[in-house]
Amino acid sequence: MNPVLETSLAFAGISPSIGQVAQLEDLGDWLRVEALPAGGIGPSEGPRIDDRHLADSIVFAAAWEAPPGRCWDLGTGAGLPGLVLAILWPRCRFTLVDRSARKIDLVRRAARILGVEVDTRVASIGSLEGQIEAIVSRALMPASALLPHLRRLLSPGGLAVVSGSGAPVAGYEEMAVPAGILDHSARLLMMRG
């Protein structure tokens, strides 16, 4: 396994099974072979699939002491971080949401290939209704613009974790990912319901 993946798993407090490691590797292959050519991730991201996309998704798990029962991944794109977390938290029921039907079709195919059960939904964030105990989002929109949506969708006592750009954002707690965990500096922003 890629050392960056090992380090990010250790940071998140996860000891994956052999099957989970194989699923993560298969997801990396799928991202390279199918998602990249289909535009699910940027055209220059191929060499950084493990170090940037998989490891970056894994560190989201560090925000929870135990996996939640249900989680929405808003703006999932090619399934990040939702598919990664669904592999690592098999008892959590994930719904991966994106406004692009083409991207949701990609995610559904990846889930079938990986043998991961997830729900998918083509929807804009503004059209979502109801509340959920856990939300993740990676690069959907600036965290300040996402905050009102999270306040509306996150149930009391719930936790939302989103990517940060490096600057503090009002309304969020910050969790820095120490140097050496990823191949880049990272911050996660957390909002509690």
Spell out the domain ranges in the chain. Answer: 3-192
- What's the CATH architecture for 3-192? 3-Layer(aba) Sandwich (3.40)
Q: Which residues pair with 164 in a beta bridge?
A: none
- From CA 10, how far away is CA 177, in angstroms rounded? 12
Query: 11-52, pLDDT tens digit by residue?
Result: 999 999 999 999 999 999 999 999 999 988 888 888 889 988
DSSP 8-state class, residue 60: G
pLDDT at residue number 180 = 81
Query: 89-125, pLDDT tens digit by residue?
Result: 999 999 999 999 999 999 999 999 999 999 999 999 9
Query: 142-189, pLDDT tens digit by residue?
Result: 999 999 999 999 999 999 999 987 778 999 999 988 888 876 667 899
pTM metric for this prediction: 0.95
Q: Tell me the H-state helices in 60-185.
A: 82-88, 101-114, 143-153
Determine the length of the chain. Answer: 193
pLDDT at residue number 186 = 76
